[in-house]
């Protein structure tokens, strides 16, 4: 049975399960479009075009590369799944420090 915890969440990019997953952020934001008219008493806004950014952090090195493309699926442990039909990897960052694991951060955007 699913719960509200993160443990058990999985992410797949271009058919490749990215493991072992440490963290995942799905940020879906849009520009704030000011549609205020001259006769309005307060500002009015509408949402612009959505601009999702997904970042995940993994333990160890990974073979993901900038410009790799494919579908994205995040199966959150609470039972919700986020999917985007076509994404492109826009950033890959590997880091490590003394007595700590090597980690890889992957950022993807819709393509």
Round to whole Å and give the CA distance between 57 and 20: 9
| Per-residue model confidence (pLDDT) at position 4 | 79
Secondary structure of 41-100 in the HEC alphabet? CCCCEEEEEEEEEEEEEEECCCCCCCCCEEEEEEECCCCCEEEEEEEEEEEEEEECCCCC
Q: pLDDT tens, 55-71? A: 999 999 988 999 999 99
Report, as ranges of residue numbers, the positions in the chain whose pLDDT lies below 50. none
Output the pLDDT for position 2: 55
pLDDT of residue 5: 85
- How far is Cα 76 from Cα 12, in angstroms, rounded to an integer? 12
pLDDT value at position 45? 95
Q: Which fold has domain 10-110?
A: Elongation Factor Tu (Ef-tu); domain 3 (2.40.30)
Sheet holding 81-95, edge to edge: 16-17, 10-13, 69-75, 81-95, 103-110, 45-59, 21-34
- pTM of the predicted model as reported, rounded to 2 decimal places: 0.85
The full set of domain ranges for the chain reads: 10-110
For residue 34, the model assigns a pLDDT of 95
């Amino acid at each position: 049975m699913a719960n509200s915890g993160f443990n058990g969440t999985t992410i797949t990019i271009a058919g490749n399960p990215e493991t072992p997953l440490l963290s995942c952020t799905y940020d879906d934001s849009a520009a704030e479009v000011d549609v205020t008219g001259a006769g309005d008493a307060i500002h009015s806004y509408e949402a612009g075009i959505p601009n999702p950014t997904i970042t995940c952090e993994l333990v160890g090195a990974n073979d993901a590369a900038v410009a790799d493309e494919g579908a994205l699926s995040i199966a959150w442990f609470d039972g919700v799944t986020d999917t985007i039909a076509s994404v492109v990897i826009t950033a890959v960052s590997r880091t490590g420090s003394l007595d700590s694991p090597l980690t890889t951060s992957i950022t993807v955007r819709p393509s």
